Chains A and B, each alone.
Chain A
Amino acid sequence: MSLSRKHQCREIITKAICGKGRKFSTVTHTVTPPHNPTSILGAWIINHQYEAVAAGDGIEVIGTYDINIWYSYDRNSQTDVAKESVPYVDFVPLSYLDPKHRTSTVEVSAEASQEPSCVEASVSSGGGSVLIRVEREFSVELVAETKVCVQICTNGCGDYEDKEFDYSDDGIVDYDELDPDSLDDDL
């Protein structure tokens, strides 16, 4: 049996991006400084480190950062900086996943599209600790081997000189038939 020339195709096994995802999140951390804070003078997120791990139907970003809070205490007569290292795990779902990918070949990566940044830091209602709201955003990729289907050019390569190509698309509609004036004038 032979396939019609028009429909010949091949399945190619290749390494490709088989999944992508993006997630924005806001989290609140509580830091308890050694002194009861009177006011918050500044808050920073520094030393951010992270890595990506495949996890079910998504990718986990596992990381840490340091929170530095500059605060005043003793009725604004003293200041100090409170430091705390915070671990986190962010699960990023994939917005698409190629069902043909070979799971044994999966490699994942993540990129902080927005480095963790402090939105707000405030003294807790009890007065003993600081609540710090942090925003972070990751985009992730899953790379794996997969099958892609390609159509075969039966004429081979480099033999185009004598061929006439038809550049029209699927023959959906001919431009010559399109006239804006022919359309109904109704609001």
Chain B
Amino acid sequence: MNQGVRRYESMPLAVRHAWLIRSGIESHLLPLTSVHDQTTFRSRYVVQVYHLRGFHISMVESGRSKGIRRTLFPMSEGTHELNPLLRRLEKTAIRCLYTLGLSDGEVILSASGERWYALEQITPASKLTDPQWVRLYKQQARGVRLALQAEEVQGFQLMMGMDPEFLLVDQTEGKMIPASQFLDREGEVGCDAVHMEGMTTYPVAELRPNPSMQPRGLLVELMHAMATASYLIHDRSLIWQAGGMPIPGLPLGGHLHFSGILLTPSLLHVLDNYLALPIVLLEDTSCLTRRPKYGFLGDFRRQPHGGFEYRTLPSFLISPLVAKGIVYMAYLLVGNYKQLVRRPLNRESIHKAYYEGNRQILQDCLHPLFQDMISLTDYPQYAKYIDPLIDHMLRGNTWDESRDIRPLWNVPVL
């Protein structure tokens, strides 16, 4: 039995419930009368997950979790992604397992309306006894093992991209101006959708620089996208704001894209522990309200090109120093993730402090993380960009989301 399963089994039900709620996941683990009421039927689904991928979804045809199951979809290679219901079920199941420190298992979810699904039950894969599932999990394990072995032999060629966001603000009126007034949906600089109260608007500006094999190349592409944005957003009276949530209700993300490397649960844990956790130390207090709906740990999305995007970070366009530090740090961490084994976020106090933005507690676990990073062979070549970020974290400095980011990025303000 692996360490994750042991840890999961040692967690009392109330603790599992608390971890899920804190992470923004609805939980029906505790026997609350309102959801276990006999007079109410809820649609229930069973999702089988191996290493951050759902491979089978069925619907429970009677009112009980253990009832008759009907296969909804055998989930052959990626095609389920076209069905919004199956996609949401897979995403929620993976998120439930990951939050509780598991990578594989059976997840029973019940519909709670408005496209939300609550966790009813988890069975770690190693505890499943039905021969059909034992065989299918072994098959999944074999596929992942072969892919990892091939990566080990051939090595990987990491390609990185990003799509950080910012807002346009009329400072005299103190209100946000939709980016769609200046930008199209597509392209190197575009606008992103926000769905609210049944309406879709495009208020957020998004930079989509070309990907690069090198951190410096990606930063040059980012500067190019920034210059393009400056050209397209011709109204110079509007200031540009970034970070986590400069305007209440409009959370911003700084998504990092990776390809050329296999996404594994341990890679995701490294990004959470060694990157997302320290970055919280720099955040403006307004960032806190972004979590847990956004900025939750382990937020990833697979991309059609075979890679994935890591979506936990806020918009690092807040300053070039932060952007440079994050890009170099991410490149270093992903390239060496197998050597990074510390997991402070597995501790209740640290996990809680992350979601509550408790800097004091988080700061106490920084040194060992930085020591691990600094001891990596590649570190010296990236130190110039990562050291300033670490320095600010240790000094307890935070960024200011109310400021105009243009001057720092050499974008003309007049």
List residues of chain A with CB under 8 Å of any chain B CB: 22-24, 26, 37-43, 70, 95, 113-115, 117-123, 133, 135, 137, 170, 172-173, 175, 178-180, 182-187
Contacts and interface: CB of A to CB of B under 8 A. Distances in A.
Given A173-B228, A187-B282, 7 more contacts: A38-B39, A113-B83, A114-B85, A178-B224, A180-B216, A180-B223, A180-B320
A40 B39 CA distance: 6
B120 to A, nearest CB: 14
Contacts of A22: 200
Given A114-B84, A120-B113, A173-B227, A180 B219 contact: yes
B399 interface: yes
B200 A42 contact: no
A23 B112 CA distance: 19
B79 interface: no
Contacts of B62: 41-42, 70
8 contacts: A40-B63, A117-B43, A121-B41, A178-B220, A178-B224, A182-B410, A183-B223, A184-B320
B40 A26 contact: no
Contacts of A135: 111, 113, 115
B262 to A, nearest CB: 29
Q: What interface size band does chain B fall in? A: 35 or more
B88 to A, nearest CB: 9
Contacts of A178: 220, 223-224, 227
Contact of B42 (A120, A184, A185): A120
Contact of A41 (B41, B219, B224, B322): B41
Nearest to B389: A187
A113 B398 CA distance: 43
A121 B40 contact: yes
Contacts of A115: 85
A6 B330 CA distance: 46
Contacts of B84: 113-114, 137
Contacts of B227: 172-173, 178
A185 B320 contact: yes
B115 A183 contact: no
Label chain B's interface by main secondary structure: mixed
Nearest to A120: B42
A42 B216 contact: no
A23 B84 CA distance: 12
B123 to A, nearest CB: 23
A187 B324 contact: no
Contacts of B39: 37-40, 122-123
A70 B41 CA distance: 10
Given A114-B84, A175-B220, A178-B224, A183 B43 contact: no
B140 interface: no
Interface string B102-131: 000000000111110000000000000000
B43 A120 contact: yes
Contacts of B41: 40-43, 118, 120-122
A175 B224 contact: yes
A180 B324 contact: yes
B198 interface: yes
Contacts of B392: 187
A37 B37 CA distance: 14
Contact of A186 (B43, B398, B408, B410): B408
A68 B392 CA distance: 61
Contacts of B321: 183-187
Contact of A187 (B37, B42, B219, B319): B319
A22 B114 CA distance: 15
Interface in B28-57: 37-43
A113 B227 CA distance: 38
Contacts of A186: 319, 321, 408
